[in-house]
Amino acid sequence: MPELPEVETSRAGIAPYLEGHRITALRVRQPRLRWPVPSDLAAHLEGQIVRSVSRRGKYLLIAVNGGCALLHLGMSGSVRILPQGTVAGKHDHVDLELDSGLMLRLTDPRRFGALLWQAEGEEHKLLASLGPEPLSDAFDVDHLGRCCKGRRSNIKAVIMDSHVVVGVGNIYANEALYLAGIDPRRAAGRISIARLQTLVAAIKAVLARAIEQGGTTLRDFVGGDGKPGYFSQELNVYGRAGEACPGCGNILKEVRLAQRSTVFCSLCQT
């Protein structure tokens, strides 16, 4: 699944081609995505100038007068900027045509993505319960400490909970916990404030670096400019079970936590 840095890479890639341009047509070839594309979405978008392209968690927000389109890439979705008239493939479900002669195309083989509408002055229910952005000042040790207090859940599950903080998916949770030296299996409520402070800093550092590098290369993901990300070249633990820890040389272990692959060093992470 594209994670926060991948979505941010997509946002940065498509924003210059959308912002300030008029939407001339919305063409929906397959409305049955994770949730049905609203039947009146074209009426909200066509003829409107794109004011901004922003991100909330893993949602891209394409803002126009009156509201914004919410775009989620799901498990395997991607967006491209292409010339209008480019022949659509089997999994090319939506085109947003612009006055520049270009278009934004949503490709989603598994159809777990979404294209929805949020009216101006309202907050879509999918966004209403999200936690703070991990790179914002709102995500700090005080916030994480409150979320961890009394929790028996493992710390990895807590930081991957979008109600606690958005956008810390499996890859970056593995990497942040390694950087912070915290065993992912440890109960969240039994971690000291000092160590949580280290974890907050690690989450911010890992995500910032991944965004800088253009996201992590996944089988189903390339950036908005058609180029893959490069952060996967720098992963310390994710996908490296059975290899040597880059810090101490110990063999990295793999366990399943909440049905997700979790790789860690039993010596460096306690």
* Residue 37 contacts residue 31 (beta carbons within 8 Å): yes
Active site residue 260: yes
Task: Match 């803002």 to its residue by tokens.
Answer: 63
- CA 144 to the chain's CA centroid: 20
- Mutual orientation of helices 4-18 and 193-213 as an angle, nearest 10°? 40
Amino acid at 93: H
Active site residue 2: yes
Out of 3, 6, 8, 97, which one is annotated catalytic?
A: 3
91 in a known ligand binding site? yes
Q: What are the helix (H) ranges across 65-169?
A: 125-128, 141-148, 155-159
Out of 186, 240, 253, 260, which one is annotated catalytic?
A: 260
As beta bridge partners, residue 118 has: 68
Phi, psi of 78 (to 5 degrees): -150, 160
Out of 58, 80, 105, 156, which one is annotated catalytic?
A: 58
Nearest to 168 by CA among 217, 213, 206, 127: 206
CA 192/CA 85 separation, integer angstroms: 57
Active site residue 125: no
Active site residue 58: yes
Amino acid at 154: N
151 in a known ligand binding site? yes
Burial environment of residue 141 by CB neighbours within 10 A (0 to 12, 13 to 18, 19 or more): middle
110 in a known ligand binding site? yes
DSSP structure class, residue 178: H
Phi, psi of 158 (to 5 degrees): -65, -45
* Residue 113 contacts residue 73 (beta carbons within 8 Å): yes
Catalytic residues: 2-3, 58, 260
**Binding site for DNA: what residues are annotated?**
91, 110, 151
**Binding site: what residues are annotated?**
91, 110, 151
